[in-house]
Amino acid sequence: MKPSIETISIIGAGALGGACASIFHDMDNHCVSFVASGDRFERLRREGLIVNGKLYRIPVFGPEDLLPPSDLIIVAVKHNQLNDAIREIKSRVGRETTIISVMNGIESEIKIGAAYGMEKVLYAVSVGMDGVREGNRVNFKKRGKILFGEARNSFISDRVKRVQDFFDRAGIIFETPPDMIRILWWKFMINVGINQASAVLRAPYSVFQTSPKARDLMESAMEEVIMLAEKERVPLSKEEVKNWETILSGLNPEGKTSMLQDVEAHRKTEVEMFAGKVIELGARHNVPTPVNQKLFDMIREIEEN
């Protein structure tokens, strides 16, 4: 295995993918490129990406372009784009490639691993980043941090060390928790709460920082995830909600969740990955999920109208 990560491919140029690309480009303007196809490919090549007011002309390659495999691939697409993304990164995956998904939800790593082998995949979530994307513009005030690692990290594997070293060089704040499966469910719980509540209330973070009723809606959706986590033998508790509220209090009050951004831009949301998954697991474990059922129905109605 190469001693260090030198080449990075990112698929997905939204708020998180765009922010990461700009940070890596600022460190080394030859290290990072995008993988894209169709309209996204043409748009990124034509317009570039403007991050916090700075124009970035980051190289963009199509799935069919023959290039050496990347040392690191970051998957940062929406739920409904994952199957296409898995196919489109194929030419970038080599024997020593590590793949990190920073997508929401609890299933993307398994799907990527089914295509390329779990030995290439690390689990990851991003927390505390307040990026907003509008067209080819990404703005953020807080970088947040990336929690990543193997499923279990009682010791740090060589491939985790390589990514840690790279993030150190790039100035990415990171943490490698002992149990990444629990962290994945923790982030899932957060998204089921804040993303969906913000979408139906059309509310930025400030509303949840100041309104007890908005927080009640958010927390009631999260509590259904906690009940399901117990059935899945994942250790989540109501204390995790308090941990999230500490993070929430520090976010940019004007910031918006990705689902609210999707609603405002009339894009398809990730409700199937949030409430849809909660409803599916609830049926499997015979656990009622009325809050998420209501949120699912409301967000579907918003999408249709």
pLDDT (average), residues 106-126: 96
- The 10 Å Cβ neighbour count of residue 175 is 12
Q: Which of 74-88, 131-145, 200-214, 278-292 has the lowest mean pLDDT?
A: 131-145
Statement: residue 50 has pLDDT above 80: yes
How sure is the predictor about 147, in pLDDT bands with cuts at 50, 70 and 90? very high
pLDDT (average), residues 125-151: 88
Distance of alpha carbon 179 from the chain centroid:
18
Statement: residue 141 has pLDDT above 90: no
pLDDT (average), residues 127-156: 89
pLDDT (average), residues 280-298: 98
Q: Which residue has the higher pLDDT, 25 or 131?
A: 25
Q: What is the pLDDT of residue 297?
A: 98
Residue 77 · residue 11 · CB < 8 Å:
yes
Q: What is the pLDDT of residue 240?
A: 87
pLDDT (average), residues 97-104: 96
Mean of pLDDT over the chain? 94
pLDDT (average), residues 138-153: 91
Q: What is the pLDDT of residue 169?
A: 96
Q: Taking the CA atoms of the chain, what radius of gyration do you get in angstroms?
A: 19
Q: What is the CATH topology of the domain spanning 181-304?
A: N-(1-d-carboxylethyl)-l-norvaline Dehydrogenase; domain 2 (1.10.1040)
Placement of tokens 């973070």 in the chain: 205
Q: What is the pLDDT of residue 39?
A: 92
- Which pTM does this prediction carry? 0.91
CATH code, 8-178: 3.40.50.720
For the chain, give every domain's residue range: 8-178, 181-304
Q: What is the pLDDT of residue 135?
A: 85
Statement: residue 247 has pLDDT above 90: no
Query: pLDDT digits over 19-42, tens only?
Result: 999 999 999 999 999 999 999 999
Domains 8-178 and 181-304 share a fold: no
Statement: residue 243 has pLDDT above 90: no
